[in-house]
Amino acid sequence: MRVVWFITGVVGWALPGSVGAAEPTPAEVFEKRIVPIFKSPNPSSCVQCHLAGVDLKDYILPDAEKTFRSLRDQGLIDLDAPEKTKIVKLIDMGGNANGPNAVNAKLRVAERDAFVAWIKACAADPKLKDAPKLDEKDRAQPARPVEVIRHARKDQVLESFERNVWAWRFRCMNCHTEVTPQNDKYRKEYGDRVAWVKKGGPADTLEYLIASKLLDPAKPEQSLLLRKPLGEKHEGGTKFVVGDDAYKGFRTWIEDVAAIRADKYAAVADLPPADTGPQRFGTDLWLKLTACPPEWGDKFLQARVFAWDAKRKAWDETPVAVSDRVVSGKANLWQHSLTLLTSKDSERAKAWRTGKPSLPDGKYLLRVYVDGNGKLAKDWQAVLGEADLAGQVEFQAKWREGYNAMTAVDASKVRK
């Protein structure tokens, strides 16, 4: 019914003055095409990129004429070029999405057609053009400030995901990575749910996770994505301890997503502090500390690796790699994969983003921090500092990938 009616409308506009049914008035087009968008209980196509903060509905008022004036006065409608109008451009931002966004693409086309049809009808009505300005307080616009809209954009959430979650994925590999022999084996036994690290990379993994049951939006700290690696009924065993770097990253991201989705950020002051720290890149480079002193046994140990700056003839001030884990007291051994760090806009960051993150062979400084009295367990946001420094040692590294090619350091040489 709606489709037939719409086609008549298009013909009417394309051939002005042609015979046929009277053209629908702007109010009629509004009623038929815009009101259903306004009343729909489902999010608009904007949700493809805006997880919260803005929706097409935010620009619509129950009244046709007021909606027109509201959009016109905000510069969102151009009567001379309805298709190039800003509100249509916002709808068009989704582009020609295929694949996982195909459903959204259909919705977007419907929204776009509806707005173009309505704006064209408005353009044909001289009364509307000259309608008085709408009071600013009556305008329809998103309730959230632009900073909140930006924070809730999916590309921003993805950036945070890469830094906070994706960077630590090597702790979960390959058990959870799609299309690896190990994952295929687990999949046969436990089903598709174990394949939550998607072969397409971080964006696909993020799409999967935010739609999955692994995140608990009401109690983010209780999310399975945190509880399983803490060792709670987890076939993969204990991969996190409360307060380690990966836990901090996962939890920070999970809490943020939960707050975004619950629309909890109302004002700029509600947003979490900007992450000014380095970019993190997960690797399959391993560091091993042998002959650990007994007093480190079963304690949480953080390793920070510093590179030599030949120009300054000094160690770098910030670490180039980190890793943390509990020391095996039985074996006096600590070993784990490294996460590399570099500032966001460095040449290294560019290279590591597109290629494989790696480090040159050579001399490095290892600083060892030990959580002697369970500081992190009490406060997951606590950071080990100079008081926790167990000592340092210089070592030669020949970085090679893989569990069987670890760089070993004799921990008995660690000195304050």
Task: Return the percent helix, strand and coil in the chain, to nearest 5.
Answer: 45, 15, 40
Contact call for residue 403 and ligand HEC (CB under 6 A): no
Contact call for residue 150 and ligand HEC (CB under 6 A): yes
Contact call for residue 229 and ligand HEC (CB under 6 A): yes
Applying CB under 6 A, the site for ligand HEC has a residue count of 35
**Which sign, positive or negative, has the C-alpha torsion 280, 281, 283, 285?**
negative
When CB distances to ligand HEC are compared, the closest residue is 236
Please state the closest distance from residue 92 (CB atom) to ligand HEC, in A. 8
Of residues 89-128, which lie at the interface with ligand HEC (CB under 6 A)? 90-91, 93-94
- Return the C-alpha torsion angle 281, 282, 286, 288, nearest 10: 80
Q: Which is nearer to ligand HEC, 160 or 397 (CB)?
A: 160
- Mode of pairing for the β-strands spanning 334-342 and 321-326: antiparallel
Letter string b/e over residues 150-181, b meaning 16 or more CB atoms within 10 A of that residue's CB: ebbbbebbbebbbbbbbbbbbbbebbbbbebe
Distance between CA atoms of residues 336 and 301, nearest Å:
11
Please state the closest distance from residue 407 (CB atom) to ligand HEC, in A. 21
Structure-token pair, residue 204:
């696909």
Pattern 28-67, binding to ligand HEC, x per CB under 6 A? ----------------xxx-xxx---x-x-----------
Q: Which is nearer to ligand HEC, 187 or 393 (CB)?
A: 187
Among the listed ranges 65-73, 224-232, 269-277, 286-294, the one in contact with ligand HEC (CB under 6 A) is 224-232
Distance between CA atoms of residues 280 and 275, nearest Å:
12
Distance between CA atoms of residues 84 and 87, nearest Å:
8
What DSSP state is assigned to residue 225? H
What DSSP state is assigned to residue 59? G
- Note whether 69 and 131 are within 8 A (CB): yes
Neighbours of 355 (CB within 10 A): 8
What DSSP state is assigned to residue 324? E
Please state the closest distance from residue 98 (CB atom) to ligand HEC, in A. 13
The only residue of 11, 21, 146, 383 in contact with ligand HEC, by rule CB under 6 A: 146
Of residues 245-284, which lie at the interface with ligand HEC (CB under 6 A)? none
Among the listed ranges 3-11, 236-244, 309-317, 362-370, the one in contact with ligand HEC (CB under 6 A) is 236-244
Pattern 199-218, binding to ligand HEC, x per CB under 6 A? ---------------x----
- Note whether 86 and 2 are within 8 A (CB): no
The only residue of 69, 151, 163, 176 in contact with ligand HEC, by rule CB under 6 A: 176
Q: Which is nearer to ligand HEC, 52 or 175 (CB)?
A: 175
Q: Given the rule CB under 6 A, which residues bind ligand HEC?
A: 44-46, 48-50, 54, 56, 90-91, 93-94, 146, 149-150, 153, 155, 171-172, 175-176, 186, 190, 193-194, 214, 224-225, 228-229, 234-236, 239-240
